[in-house]
Amino acid sequence: MVRQEEGEAVIRRIIHVDMDAFYASVEQRDDPALRGRPVAVGGSRQRGVVAAASYEARQYGVRSAMPSVTARRKCPELLFVPPRFDVYRAVSAQIHAIFARYTKLIQPLSLDEAYLDVTVPLVAHPSATAIAEEIRAAIRAETGLTASAGVSYNKFLAKLASDHRKPDGLYVITPRMGPRFVEGLPVERFHGIGPATAARMHALGIRTGLDLREWDMERLARHFGRAAAFYHGIARGLDERPVEPDRKRKSIGAERTLEQDIHHWDQALAVLDALVDRVWEASGRRGLSGRTVTVKIRYADFRHTGRARSLPSPISSRADLREIATGLMRPFFPPERGVRLLGVTLSNLDSQEAAASGTQFALELEAP
């Protein structure tokens, strides 16, 4: 929450900026015929996947990473448009240039969101809130898009704040508000607690921030290991993580805990396809590709295994990622015991520009 500067405690001022339905909003901006209509960026065929959905589409329950057939069933009027990652990267560069007017401490999370530490800004301003308002106004004026922003004294709360008034909103969580704001939220809303961890917490009777706060460190550590300190802190509105401008993502992965154990290859392949789609969509959204593919298997008795393969150059298509992941997974089937979890991870990451080696890196959202 605080850091020391010249012997004096200074409350950090953190802004989290998150573009509103970024890909879909860019498409609606550039094509007036799409404005006000439910739009999905992605492939519309049988094996297509939604990469992003406009707010009009979200009202029908359409979400990113959803199979296109499911999205079409939820919203028959849904309009599919193919992704244009070169355009999204260019707009993202505009937005990050705006951030750079106010601070050098910028930690991008993806093309459409970032943390900014404006404790000591590059320009004189009365408050972080005023800076956030000015950034949102500049984004609207220079890109024609809207952004939501959260302002707080740490990264965890700043991200919660940016979600609180979406779309096109601004919310501030002060040090006095922090613990009270957290205590009423369901744990699945906490950044850093994924679906699997939330399910484990629910099974232990932890459903809200207040429930989590009632657990001491020793008890949390028994159930959650090294993550216990982080969970202990955020339940109290505390997060000491700094904004890291040079932080590089090490891997992009997806895994799925199955409702019922599986034993057959065709079952595994269906799950594997969905995982590959999620990893590929996430890597495209962040402008990254990787050279190493890892598959993970956890059996019904909680033993786990896996295999990895590294290539001399980054993977350039979803079809290649699927082929490699399939080859790595195939020798484990048929398994001697039931399988309860499958996972796919892409690592040894490079930027899309490096991955493409001069050619366009494209997210394949349709079946090869």
> What residue segments make up the domains of the chain, in order of their start?
22-84, 177-235, 251-354
pTM higher than the cut 0.85: no
304 CB contacts (<8 Å, ≥6 apart)?
296, 297, 298, 341
How far apart are alpha carbons 116 and 104 in whole angstroms?
8
How far apart are alpha carbons 126 and 248 in whole angstroms?
32
DSSP labels, 199-251: HHHHHTT--BHHHHHTS-HHHHHHHHGGGHHHHHHHTTT---PPP-TT----E
Q: Is the CB of residue 145 less than 8 Å from the CB of residue 19? A: yes
177-235 architecture in CATH? Orthogonal Bundle (1.10)
251-354 CATH, one of 3.30.1490.100, 3.90.45.10, 3.90.1490.10, 3.40.50.10070: 3.30.1490.100
Q: How far apart are the first and last CA of the chain?
A: 48
pLDDT 10s per residue in the chain (368 long)? 444 445 456 789 999 999 999 999 999 999 999 999 999 998 766 657 788 899 999 999 998 878 888 899 999 999 999 988 889 989 999 999 999 999 999 999 888 999 999 999 999 888 999 999 999 999 999 999 999 999 999 999 999 999 999 999 999 999 999 999 999 999 999 988 888 789 999 999 999 999 999 999 999 999 988 889 999 999 999 999 999 996 666 788 888 878 788 999 988 998 999 899 889 888 887 778 899 999 999 898 878 899 999 998 899 888 999 999 999 999 999 998 899 889 999 998 876 443 333 322 323 332 22
Residues with active-site annotation? 113
350 marked among binding-site residues: no
Q: With respect to CATH, is domain 22-84 assigned 3.40.1170.60?
A: yes
86 marked among binding-site residues: no
